Every structure is written in structure tokens, then in C-alpha cells.
Structure 1
Amino acid sequence: MKLLVYSAKDFEIPFLNKANDNKHKIDFTQDALNTETAMQAVGYNAVSIFSGDDANNIVLKKLWDFGVRYIAVRATGFNNIHIKPAYQLGLKVANAPNYSPHAIAEQAATLLLALNRNLILADQQVHNYNFLLDNLMAVNLHGKTVGIIGTGNIGSVMAKIMNGFGCKILANDIEPDNDLVEFCNLTYTSLEKVCRKSDFISLHIPLSYQNHSLINKKRLGWMKKNVILINTARGAIVDHKALLQALKDRTIGAYGADVYEKENDLFFRDHSVDGISDEQLKLLLSYKNVLLTPHQAFVTEEALENIARITIQNLDEWELHDSCKNEIGYKTVSL
């Protein structure tokens, strides 16, 4: 298999090379996949892409015409790929499912703790030799109610972490997990009750047409005034216009996220010299009760090892059988 890895980051290349062990011919480009960079795939029968790459129907047609037959996604989510056109062309697409639920859930817990305990402000004050405590009031997590929206691989780990803090957990999912009910002090209920009753809310659902802007003006209005909302899933699950209004009106307490709805042209790049033109993001970052990290939850050694291993396994299986267990078929997804 001859593979071109788009959006290759320096820190992940060693993991991919180690997992590959010279089995496949792999080349790397830091460029993201789009209509202009698709031509770099000429001569390759496979490409690997990340969540910031644009695999729309036009790009997919170009890849097919250039001879690409396989797309290995170095992520669990694949909402950036137009699956139906890929399926119609004959392209085979596979993701890297369940590569490290702990990495993502731990990032969610980190954001929650940092916001609740005012760690960013405390650090800034101490570095300015200000050791006052007046602005650093927090609450115990113990005994509080945590709402978890989505209790799949990542959400279930988040539930276990919050249970360890002694929290009561309310959850919403189309497929309840009975083990979590039994072992994690968790109760499944309606989305409205999760929003209304929770002191902290964490999102752990994939992005789809059905849940695009799931957290909108109405649901933000259901939430407690001091709620801390955490999003390590996908940016577009939250309606950012409504979120900014809620922050402005102080109808929610804080927002912590590792994702942003328009991150494709922003994240994974250094804009410190030229700045950014996204006025919505500038406004979001202007709030002191907002903590945004640059989609870094997956950047752990364990997660990168697993992503690389699964990506190479997908290639191995395609080469041997022209199919693989992680393959995504249009008929099996709801898009």
C-alpha cells in the first residue's frame, strides 16, 4: 500500500512510522486535504486524513480520479467526510474507533476542574505576585450533580471519573448502559432534566445532522445560572451564537471546550504573528469564564500509539482482504 498522510504533525509521525515498521510506503505532508491539495495524492492508492481535513464530494471525486481507493481516518469522528459520495464512488473509508476514551474523558475532567477551581486566574495572579484569594471561590464536586450527554466509550469513562469524585450523575443517551446505572450512581433521564438539574454538564456525542446545534438557545436557557458546560466532542454540537449570548447575559457559569465549530482553518496552526479574523472566536476568548484548548485531548502517548496502530491495521486488512473491520459503509451510518 502506498499512503499519503495529510495534516501530518511532527509529534505523530514517529508513532506512525513505528507502527508501520516499513510494511507500507508512507509519505507525509503538513498540508490539510482540500480541493487544492488533493492533487498531491497522485500516485497513491491510499490517504490518511485528520478531523480538520475536508473530504467533500468534489475532493473525493478528485482522489478517485487520481487513483486513491482507501481513506484511513486518524480519528473516531468522520463528519468531515461526505460518506455517501465516497460510497457511491467505491472509496473505502475506515476510522480509528475507541483509540483512547480515557484521553478525551480526562481532558473533559481537566477542563471542568480548571474552570471550577479558577486555576487559570490563580496562576496569572501568582505570577504577578498576587496571593489573594478573593476571586478564587469554587465549589466541591463531591455531592454535586453532573450531567453527561452521551454515555458511549468516552462518556462512560467520564461517568466513572465523576463517580470517583462522589458526584450524582444524570445521563442522556439513546442506548442506556445498565452497568453504569449499577456501578456509577447514574440515572438516565430526559435531555431537559439533564440540563435543568445538573451543576456541571459534559458533552460526549458524535456530530450528526440530528444533534447539530443540540445545545441551543432553548437548552442553554434550561441550564442553571452557574452551570459549567464542557465540550470535548465536536464544536458544532453547541450553537455558538446562543452560547455567546448566554455568556454575555451570565445565564451560564462557564464554558470549557477542546473543540470549536469553525476550527478547520484555525486549529493546528500558529496564528500568533498574524492573528485571526474569526470575530466570533475572538469574542468567545474574551470571556474570562471560557477555557478553550486547541483540540489537544488526543495528544497523549497512549492515544497516538493506538491511532497509529489502528491506522496501519486498517491498511493491512485492506491490502490483504480489500475490507477491514473499521470500515464505514454509507448504509451503516445516519447522515
Structure 2
Amino acid sequence: MKFSNIKIAFFDTKPYDRRFFEQENESFGFDIHFFEPRLNPDSVSMAHDYPVVCAFVNDNLGAATLEQLAKQKTKLIAMRCAGFNNVDLAAAHRHDITVTRVPAYSPRAVAEYTLGVLLTLNRSLHRAYNRVRDNNFSINGFLGFDIFDKTIGVIGTGKIGLTFIQILQGLGVHILASDPYPNQAAAAELHYDYVSLDELYARSDVISLHCPLTPDNQHMINRRSIAKMKTGVYIINTSRGKLIDTAALIVGLKKHKIGGAALDVYEEEGDYFYEDLSASAIADDILARLLTFPNVLVTSHQAFFTREALTNIGRITLQNIADFLEGKLTIKL
């Protein structure tokens, strides 16, 4: 079935979004209009008379934006990501706007990336690359440790967390996990143990975050939780930036309590990530300070960024829209 009469306002568009969505849209025929600006109260008028809006992680879908979308006759917000912490779901419900997302576009993409940044951070691969390009072949300062026999703490055992644990199986590590909804069958199969957060903090050499952001776990990595951790612990975050109190992380790094951090997300990333600001100064003092640490690796929310993931995101997002229009939507919020 083709949907050529259905207009979709697509916000925060990058060239790769257009490429993969146009490719997948050949099977649906939606009338997609790609807009570069992010969706927020100032840009929402661009979606006037669009029944469907497609948004991403840094779009502002707060109460003010949703109120205006409702006035403009939008009925569906199709998130092209797994997270939805930037959506005021209560306001969406109040205005009778349905919200969909893509909960499992490619758990392996994020899990593989998590291992990649852990190994890169530990063995200083990013710094070695830059050093050699300057004809400096010294390895001083690049001393890492064997991952083998270390304890990895995984917070969140949904699809991505479990996939990361599966990947870890070949490294000879001890795995601890914490999740409000333990998957004991998976724990038995993959040989890991569920423990309390306090025990995970105390025993882990590496802590990797794979949980969604909720009001209950915002800043779960904070001054108090860091104090419970091993000295020299590595913290990896490929989930959501606001899981970490970045100011507390910086204090932990300065005091050498934290041995290193690999961050693909940042709690105030909205003004920076996905944009080319190479000709500008960083006004965010906390982000600028993070980038000065040799034992901190920051990337721009790219863990999801594989061909397979983008193909799945395009297909599932458009299928969610088609299902909504046909009255058979099964994945919604």
C-alpha cells in the first residue's frame, strides 16, 4: 500500500538520514519533507498541517512543542530512536498525540561500539593514532591493563546490555549486572550474576551503562556512587548522558578515583553533538574540561551509526507510521 497523500515533517535531518529514509520509503511512498532544524517551540510552525512528525534524540518535544503540534493537527510523533526521555508523554496523551519509537534497531551496533571504546580507552589507541601522525613513536603514557579476569559491571540488561554481555563472553571476564527486572534465564545462560548497585559499584573494574534514562536514575553516577567504586574504575556510557553527573565525574577524574571514562553521550549534548563546530569555541565549560583529560574519550553519540542500524531505523519508523494509519499499531508509548 502506498501513502503518497500522507505528509511527514522530518526534523534534525542529516545527509545520512535522507539517504536511508528515502531508500526505505520506496516501499511506502510517503510524502517526506526533510528539515535541517531541530524540532522545538521556535521551529514547530514548520510542521503546520503535517499529520506526522519524525523526531530524534535532541529534538525538544516538551509541553510547549506538543501543544502547538496538536493545534497544527499532528496526530503522530514517530521517534527514530530507542530513547524517548525528550518527549513529554503526559502532554502527548493530553493532546491525543500518539508516540512511537524504534526500541531495537540494532543492539549489536551499540554493544560492539561499547567494547570498541573500552579497548580504545584502555590501550590509548586514539592518542597513539594522533601521536604517530606527528612522527612521535613513543609509547610512554599508553600503559593499559589486560581485560582478562577483570570484573565488568553492566547496568541495564535489556537488548543492548545483554548483547554486550554476549560479546564479553570471549574475553574471560567476570560479569556483574544490575537491573530492576532481572533476566535470570539469561544470567544462567551467559554466566553473570545480578547484584545490587552498591555491590556492582564496589566490585567492578569497568562499569558500562545500558539503561534508559528515567526520573529515578538521572545522575545515578554521582558523587556518592563514585565514592563506592574501586579506585581506578573505568566508566563507559553509550546510553544517555544524564545518567552521569558530569561535574561529579570530573571531580572523580581529578582525584584519580576514576581511572578513565568513555562517553558517547553527554548530559548537555544538544548544542554540540551531530554538528560541525570546528570553527567555534566550546562555550560549555564542563564539556571543555572533559576534553582536556587524556584518560577521557568523548564521541558524538555515534554508537548506533552502522548501515544495518540506519536501515532498520528507516524501515521500522516508516512501518510504525503505516501501522498507525492502518489502525494496527502495536509499538507505541
Q: TM-score, normalised by structure 2?
A: 0.96
Correspondence for 1:331: none
Give how far 1:9 is off: 1.1
Counterparts of 2:138 and 2:276 in 1: how far apart (Å)? Answer: 34
Can you list the C-alpha shifts for 1:119-141, whole angstroms capped at 9, x where unaligned?
12222222222323332211111
Correspondence for 1:15: 20
Correspondence for 1:45: 51
Q: How many residues align?
A: 327
Pairs within 5 Å for 1:234-273: 234-273=240-279
1:170 maps onto 2:176 in alignment:
yes
1:59 maps onto 2:61 in alignment:
no
Correspondence for 2:9: 4
- Contact map agreement 1:234 1:261 (CA 8 A) in 2: yes
Correspondence for 2:159: 153
Identify the match of residue 195 of structure 2 among 189, 209, 215: 189
Correspondence for 1:199: 205
Give how far 1:304 is off: 0.3
Give how far 1:147 is off: 0.4
Give how far 1:324 is off: 1.2
268-277 vs 81-90, greater mean Cα deviation:
268-277
Counterparts of 1:318 and 1:276 in 2: how far apart (Å)? Answer: 42
Q: SS at 1:142's partner residue?
A: coil
1:90 maps onto 2:108 in alignment:
no
Counterparts of 2:168 and 2:185 in 1: how far apart (Å)? Answer: 15
Can you list the C-alpha shifts for 1:171-214, whole angstroms capped at 9, x where unaligned?
10111122332232201101011111111110000001000001
Q: Among the aligned pairs, what percent are the same residue?
A: 37
Q: What one-letter code is carried by the residue in structure 2 that aligns with 1:61?
A: E
Give how far 1:276 is off: 2.1
Correspondence for 1:278: 284
Correspondence for 2:297: 291
1:220 maps onto 2:196 in alignment:
no
Give how far 1:97 is off: 0.9
Unaligned runs of 5+ in 1: 329-335
Counterparts of 2:92 and 2:130 in 1: how far apart (Å)? Answer: 49
Counterparts of 2:249 and 2:14 in 1: how far apart (Å)? Answer: 31
Give how far 1:268 is off: 1.2
1:327 maps onto 2:332 in alignment:
yes
Q: SS at 2:314's partner residue?
A: helix
Counterparts of 1:180 and 1:130 in 2: how far apart (Å)? Answer: 46
Q: What one-letter code is carried by the residue in structure 1 that aligns with 2:332?
A: E
Q: What one-letter code is carried by the residue in structure 2 that aligns with 1:211?
A: N
Q: SS at 1:4's partner residue?
A: strand
Q: What one-letter code is carried by the residue in structure 2 that aligns with 1:279?
A: D
- Contact map agreement 1:163 1:169 (CA 8 A) in 2: no
Q: What one-letter code is carried by the residue in structure 1 that aligns with 2:23?
A: K
Give how far 1:44 is off: 0.8
Runs of 4+ in 1 over 6 A off after TM superposition: none
Q: SS at 1:78's partner residue?
A: coil
